[in-house]
Structures are given as structure tokens and as C-alpha cells.
Structure 1
Amino acid sequence: MPDQALMDWVSLIKDTLLGVAALVTIFVGIYGLRAWKRDIVGKEVYAAAKVLVKESHLVYEAARKLRQPLWSYEKRQFTDEETVHTTENERWRLLEAEAYKDKIEKFARALERYESAKLELRVLVGSRVYEGFLPFGRFLSESIERVNAYLDLLQDHTQAHLPGSPEIIEAQQELYPSDNLDDELSQKLAESREEGEVSLLSHLHRKSIYG
């Protein structure tokens, strides 16, 4: 018959091993849970960063279109009654103002989606996401300001501005992007958008904006 002292030691060792096993299980469980949470958060951050890059491209394109001269399809047709009661210059001013207000509304929708995407990522990674896109935001605002300056001229009925008036020509030159997008504002918009994307590279698991 085994010695009682030996049996007590065996029982103690078994209890100890069971306790250690339980602690190991708890540790592994906690570590696994934390790893799982990190993995989930990492995927959410990647997805949010990807959406922000996409929306930054879209709002950049919207800003470019916002500043473009009007195409004929962007101008509505006047009714016969409107034509009778307005001059050619009044109709020109009215069409220009209406069309650019419509452009602003379209741009505002793209800007809202961009700002929403920026906020989603800010929730996950903190406010530094705003820092990377601050210059881009300033040049987006400048795009709107140039359109508003043109609208102010069109809607200032104390002045008889014509399509060829010096003030109108100057405002259009400030507003319109160049055909090759090599004007200063277009370049700054493109460069600052790229700077914003560069600030997200660590979240996108890339080393360059080119892939």
C-alpha cells in the first residue's frame, strides 16, 4: 500500500499542475482575445483609410469640376416669357449664377462624404488624421471662395457686368483651371491630396502612394 505522505505529494502535484494549466488557459485566452481585437481594429483602420483615400480623390475631382467653365448642357433653356422679359446680358448672368450654384451643391455632397470618411478614421486612430489633410482642406476652401467671388460679381446688380467686362474676365481667370491642370491652385490641390494619402500609408500597409 502506497505511503500516505507520497500520496499526499502526488495529490498536491496534480492540484498544482491543474492550477498551472488553468492559469495558462486563462493567459492564452486573454492573449488570444487581445490579438483578435487588434486584428479586428487593424482591419477597421485599413478599411477606413482606404475609404478616405477614395473620397479624397473624388472630392479633388469635384473641386476641379467646380472651377471649370460651363458646358452648354449645364445651362437650362429659358421659356418664351422669360426671354421676352429679360435682356441677353441678364439671361447670361442668370444662367452662369444658376449653373455655378448647382456645381456648388454637387461639390458640397462630395465634400460631405470626404469629411465623413475623415471622421470615421479619426474615431479609430485619433486626431492626427486631420493634420495630414489640413493643407488639402485649405485649398478645397479656396476653390469654393473663387466660385463665390465670381457669383458675387454675377449677382451684383448695381454693376452692369458684361461677359467681356474686365472684372468678369479677371474673376474667370482666377476661377478656371488650366487645360493641363498646371495652374497654381490645381497643383496645390493635387500635391496636398497626395500629402494626405502619404500620411495614411502606415494604415494602408504600403510604403508609397504608387503601390
Structure 2
Amino acid sequence: MANKRCPVRLGLTGGIGSGKSTAGGMFASLGATMIDADQIARAVTGPGGDAMDAIRSTFGAAFVDASGALDRSRMRELAFNQPEARTQLEAIVHPLVTRHSLMQTQQAIAAGSRLIVHDIPLLTESGRWARQLDAVVVVDCPVETQIERVMHRSGLAPDVVQGIIASQATRHARRAVADIVIANGPHNTLPALQAQVRQVAALFGL
């Protein structure tokens, strides 16, 4: 898995509702440097974000809200009805996420970080990350658990949640790219998740 160079770089991924973000917070609490691709994507599509000029020119002013940010609900609806719109949006946002991730990685290396964890929701779908990482950690749970958790926390209808899950890599595909699987099924507890995260962090020097 990890080679001898420092710092170790882990990729952390998992489907919506898997508990990936919770696990990421646990890695951070143990001293890992977290680089969150979703957080970067929200920043570049926020008010005055790097992606907003291209989004406005590609999709029109109707997809920019009053604050100057991406109108996420409108874009979600468009992407649901026109899958090519999602591809267009990704072509704008993903290169910016990559650039900002690289900058944050360089800063972490300069600061002497021992473990950098890249929180990447679309790691499985992307072919470019594997060669940049020492290992891939997948937070895993059954699809039924994903649906239940997302409905509970967001109030989304089951068909909407199922549509989101269908747009992501399958559970099988995520497990296929994993070096380490963190199990976070329906009966898992936060202490049990914490224990697994600690084991992984210890394996890579924290």
C-alpha cells in the first residue's frame, strides 16, 4: 500500500450516506490533513468562485443565484433530466478542484504533515487519482442503509435518493478499487467507526 515517502497520501471515498464525511472528521481529529474535494467544489461554485464565469456562460444567468453562486437546486434538476449537463458542469469544476487540491497538498507537505487524506466522492469514477495516492480507503454500507440515512437527514424522497445513488459508482465498483474497507453498516456505532479509523491512521503513522 503505502511507500516510504512522506507524507502518506490516502484517498477516502464512499457513496452518499456511507459515513465518509464522518470518517473524514475522525481522521482530522487524529491529526491528518484533510483535503476535501466537495468543499473545494462548493468554494469554486460559491459567490465569486473561480467556476462562476464559465457556469454563467455555459448554462445562462438563470443558474446563478442572487448571491452570485451556482443555483444548486436548479442545476440538480437540469442534471437529473439532462445527464449531459452534469458532464458539462464537471468539465468546468473538476480541473479547478484538481488545481486547488494540488495547492493544498503542497501546503501540507511544506507544513510537515505526516498523513494527507483526500476526501474524494468521485474517486472511483475518476481514473486519475490512483497514481497520486498511496492507498484508497472506502467507507462501505449497503445501498438500503444509504437510502435510509439520506432520507432521514435531508428529507429527500426515496426516488430522488435512489437517483443520486444511481449516478454514483456502484458499491461493487468502490470496493474493487479499495485497499482498505471501513465497514459502516446499519448496526455500526460511532465508537466502532472511530476504532476502524484509528486502526487505519495507525497503520500509516498516526
Q: TM-score, normalised by structure 1?
A: 0.30
- Which of these two proteins has the greater Rg computed from alpha carbons? 1
Question: What is the TM-score of this pair, normalised by structure 2?
Answer: 0.30
Q: Which has the higher strand share?
A: 2
Q: Which has the higher contact order (CA 8 A, sep 6+)?
A: 2
Q: Between Structure 1 and Structure 2, which shows a larger proportion of helix residues?
A: 1
